[in-house]
Each structure stands twice: as structure tokens, then as C-alpha cells.
A and B are shown apart, each in its own frame.
Chain A
Amino acid sequence: DVVMTQSPLSLPVTLGQPASISCRSSQSLVSSDGNTYLNWFQQRPGQSPRRLIYKVSNWDSGVPDRFSGSGSGTDFTLKISRVEAEDVGVYYCMQGTHWPHTFGQGTKLEIK
């Protein structure tokens, strides 16, 4: 199975400051169709997860543009340009290229 490794696992951030989460995969996530199926999810406390970014860098509808995704191959990053209070929660990367699909361990973002 493809192992997804996120860092850091805990991310205290001051309001208005940037934040960055790394996600590394144990195998390349480039699919045979040329796409890279790497998604980012946000799970606020007590809520279902919500997809923020799909295929590395594409925003889902309604996602603020302060969120951005980048990367290629095995190395990916989610960045928040200016953290707001509503961004508190756990962030997960997930690969959908290989079966079984796998998630990272999650990164807990909190306000300092």
C-alpha cells in the first residue's frame, strides 16, 4: 500500500500568518492516465471532512483562494496564505492513484 506521510502533525499558527503542510507518498502518484490524484481535505471539529483541493492544485467550489496546493510525483504541499479562525481543524492528504486509496495521518491546525 502507498504510505502517505504528513508533517507536521501539529501546527500552531498565529491568526493572519501563513501555514504549510507537507505530504509525501511512498510511491509516485502519477497515474497511467497522466493525472496525479492527490487531494486535500479539511475536517473541522465535529464535522464531516470537506475536500479543499483535488488533483494537486485544483480548488473545490467555495474554497477560499488563501488555500493552495502544489507538488508533483511524491512530494506535495498545502499552503494557507493567511490563517483565519475558521481554519482550525485537521487536514488530510489522500492519494487516489493506487488501490487501496490511502490518507495521511492528519495535521491538526490550531490558533496560537
Chain B
Amino acid sequence: EVQLVESGGGLVQPGGSLRLSCAASGFTVSNNWMSWVRQAPGKGLEWMATLKPDGSEGYYVDSVKGRFTISRDNAKNSLYLQMNSLRVEDTAVYFCVRSGGAVWGQGALVTVSS
């Protein structure tokens, strides 16, 4: 079964860091475009970042450039999102997504608050 499972969410203070993980099963992460999409409480969807299949380049929305980094571990078949310098407005559920939205994880809640 094709599945994505996120982990690593939680409560962090403004200015802090967090790393989200996304474990894939049923397909190979390194053969796919993989993305992170977030949804603030009660709000719509916002695309965050995408990693090319060859892993050579990541694309980011301007609001997270320089603060967030998308990466993967081929051996673990997993995708990651390193989030630094977190802001209150980064509070959201973060979804791991395969290939233009074909498969979504259940989401991981990140709360940035003092």
C-alpha cells in the first residue's frame, strides 16, 4: 500500500527549530517529486517546498526560503523538512505529499508559541 507517515511535530518557541520526517512505503521517494504543504488552523492549503527526484535542487515559497530545508534519506526512504527560525505564523499542520498531490500523509501539527 502506498503510504506517507509524518512525525516530528510539536510545540516550539519562536526562533526555535524542528525537523519533520515523512516515512514512505509502497513506492521509492528518490524516484518522485516530493513536497511539503501546510495548512494553518482553519485556513487553506499553502505549498511550501519541493525536492526534485535527483535530489539536486529544492524549490521553496519565499516566506520560508533560508529558514526551511527539504531533504531526503534514500536508505530510509524518507523525506524531511528542517525548520529553523520558526515564527508564530508557521503554526500549521504540515503534510508530506508525493508527485503533485497524488498521495498525502496524515499531517503533523507544528505549534510555534511562547
Q: What residues make up the interface of A, taking CB atoms closer than 8 Å to B?
A: 1, 37, 39, 41, 43, 48-51, 54, 60, 90, 92, 94, 96, 99-106
A36, chain B: closest CB distance, angstroms? 12
The 15 sampled A-B contact pairs (Cβ below 8 Å) are A48-B95, A48-B106, A50-B104, A51-B100, A54-B100, A54-B101, A60-B102, A92-B44, A96-B101, A100-B60, A101-B47, A103-B44, A103-B45, A103-B46, A104-B44
Q: Chain B residues near A100: list those with CB within 8 A.
A: 47, 59-62
Q: Chain B residues near A60: list those with CB within 8 A.
A: 102
Tell me the B31-82 residues at the A interface (CB within 8 Å). 35, 37, 44-47, 50, 59-62
- How many Å lie between the Cα of A39 and that of B50 in the bound state? 16
- How many Å lie between the Cα of A15 and that of B13 in the bound state? 46
Knowing A48-B95, A49-B95, the reply to whether A103 touches B47 (Cβ < 8 A) is yes
Q: Chain A residues near B46: list those with CB within 8 A.
A: 103
Q: Chain A residues near B106: list those with CB within 8 A.
A: 48
Q: What residues make up the interface of B, taking CB atoms closer than 8 Å to A?
A: 35, 37, 44-47, 50, 59-62, 95, 100-102, 104-107
B114, chain A: closest CB distance, angstroms? 28
Q: Chain A residues near B37: list those with CB within 8 A.
A: 49
- How many Å lie between the Cα of A102 and that of B46 in the bound state? 7
Select from chain B the residue with minimum beta-carbon distance to A106: B44
A90, chain B: closest CB distance, angstroms? 8
Asked whether B45 lies within 8 Å of A41 as measured between CB atoms, the reply is: yes
Q: Chain A residues near B50: list those with CB within 8 A.
A: 101
Asked whether B102 lies within 8 Å of A49 as measured between CB atoms, the reply is: no
Asked whether B45 lies within 8 Å of A99 as measured between CB atoms, the reply is: no
- How many Å lie between the Cα of A51 and that of B62 in the bound state? 25
Select from chain A the residue with minimum beta-carbon distance to B64: A100
- How many Å lie between the Cα of A103 and that of B59 in the bound state? 16
